Amino acid sequence: MLTERQRMILNAIIDDYIRSAEPVGSRSISKRSGIGYSPATIRNEMADLEELGFLEQPHTSAGRVPSTKGYRYYVDHLVKLGEMNEQELNQIRIHLADKMNQMEQVIQHAAMILSSLSNYTSIVLGPEMLSHKLKHFQLVPLNEDTAVAIIVTNTGHVENRTFTIPNGMSMSEMEKVTRILNAKLAGVPMARLRSRLYTEAGQEMGRYVSHCEQLLESLDKALESDNDHRVFVSGTTNMLTQPEFKDVDKVKTLLDLFDETPTLMKLVSSLPDGIHVRIGSENDHQAINNCSLITATYSLDGKPLGTIGILGPTRMEYGKVITLLDVLSKDMTLLLAKWYK
């Protein structure tokens, strides 16, 4: 579809633009080492590339700027994957290794590592809680009428809810309930916890404990708000240093998006296994139409668990970021495999 020379020129233009954020002219490409053509030749090729939709011109008499299609071609065929230097690799390893024995922490640190190494904004999606299994259940009474229900999953995640104790329930009964629930529900996936609560544990408890129904109801209600707050965003202010965000209104739109967890989750979670790049207008959400989102998945037992992603301007250092995501997602996968060996 493109001649070798066109590919070379397109590549040069995009590299230039990524560095400078300014429309690229024929002269500056011509002067590059490795390109043996005069500005006039470059101009002709540029005109062709524009006709084909790979480049755009902000206005006549300005240089060219890559279009979404241009970036797409660049990412699919031209980009040179970056190499990570020792220092960066170490930074990843150290951060991930450092007493990281809880999934929660791994996820959070991943977000930090990504944003600090890339200087863009990172969005990290933790694994779906629903697939985790109940490890331990505990009721802790705080005073006469309230108690905390604590749930520990096999991944080390601890969830807790406060709820109201049914009138007239005694301490010893609470302990009994804790015992029964643990016996009956250990190993049950979180997704089925609420239904099992009634079927398995319900009748057993009914025999030994008074006010059983009220308690179950309270518990059920406490469990229903499954605020699966598994999205971590880091490095939001990195975006503000990008010239494409020198306008406060754009900044606000973007930051407001970061606060909207559900939308953010939809944005990141929709992709299947592996590394994916969504460029500019390829993104659904209006607020990031001049951004690119690169995502990778980490997995356990071959099944993708969650997603790590980097959001930057379309004019993003694709090579570097892709490598970074690749390395980190693999490291995370390894770490999880070791941890759940």
Instruction: Please identify, using beta-carbon distances, which residue of 37 and 198 lies nearer to DNA.
Output: 37
Kindly write out the interface string for residues 144-183 of this chain, putting x where it contacts its own copies by CB under 8 A and - elsewhere: --x-x-x-x-x-x-x-x-x-x-------------------
Q: Which does 148 bind (CB under 5 to 8 A by kind): DNA, its own copies, none?
A: its own copies
Binding of its own copies by 281 (CB under 8 A): no
Q: What angle do CA 66, 71, 72 make, to 5 degrees?
A: 140
Give the integer Cα–Cα distance in Å for 75 and 11.
Answer: 10
The count of residues interacting with its own copies (CB under 8 A) is 33
Task: Please choose which of its own copies, DNA, none residue 36 contacts, taking the beta carbon within 5 to 8 angstroms, the exact cut-off set by kind.
Answer: DNA
Please pick, from the candidates 3, 38, 44, 101, the single residue that binds its own copies as defined by CB under 8 A: 101
Q: Residue 265 burial by CB count (10 A; 0-12/13-18/19+): exposed, middle or buried? A: middle
Window contacting its own copies (CB under 8 A); options: 2-10, 14-22, 249-257, 315-323? 249-257
- Residue 335 and residue 308 in contact, taking contact as beta carbons nearer than 8 Å: no
Answer with the entry of DNA, its own copies, none that 81 interacts with (C-beta below 5 to 8 A by kind).
Answer: none
Q: How far apart are CA 83 and CA 89, in angstroms?
A: 10
Between CA 175 and CA 178 the distance in angstroms is 5
DSSP three-state, residue 272 = coil
How far, in Å, CA of 244 to CA of 254, rounded?
12
- Write the DSSP assignment of 143-208 as a string of letters: SSSEEEEEEEETTS-EEEEEEEPPTT--HHHHHHHHHHHHHHHTT-BHHHHHHHIIIIIIHHHHHH
Residue with Cβ nearer its own copies (1 or 248): 248
Q: Which of residues 105-134 bind its own copies (CB under 8 A)?
A: 105
Part in contact with DNA (CB under 7 A); list of ranges 41-49, 99-107, 174-182, 208-216: 41-49
CA–CA separation, 145 and 238 (whole Å): 47
The answer to whether the beta carbons of residues 181 and 137 sit under 8 Å apart is yes
Q: Quick one: what does residue 211 bind among its own copies, DNA, none, with the CB cut-off 5 to 8 Å set by partner type?
A: none
Q: What, of its own copies, DNA, none, does residue 162 touch, CB below 5 to 8 Å by kind?
A: its own copies
Beta bridge partners of 140: 148
Is the Cβ–Cβ distance between 182 and 134 less than 8 Å? no
Which of its own copies, DNA, none sits in contact with 23, Cβ below 5 to 8 A by type? DNA
Please choose which of its own copies, DNA, none residue 83 contacts, taking the beta carbon within 5 to 8 angstroms, the exact cut-off set by kind: none
Of 46-54, 75-83, 84-92, 130-138, which segment contacts DNA by CB under 7 A? Answer: 46-54
**Residues at the interface with its own copies (CB under 8 A):** 101-102, 105, 135-136, 138, 140, 142-143, 146, 148, 150, 152, 154, 156, 158, 160, 162, 164, 236-237, 240-241, 245-248, 251-252, 255-256, 259, 340
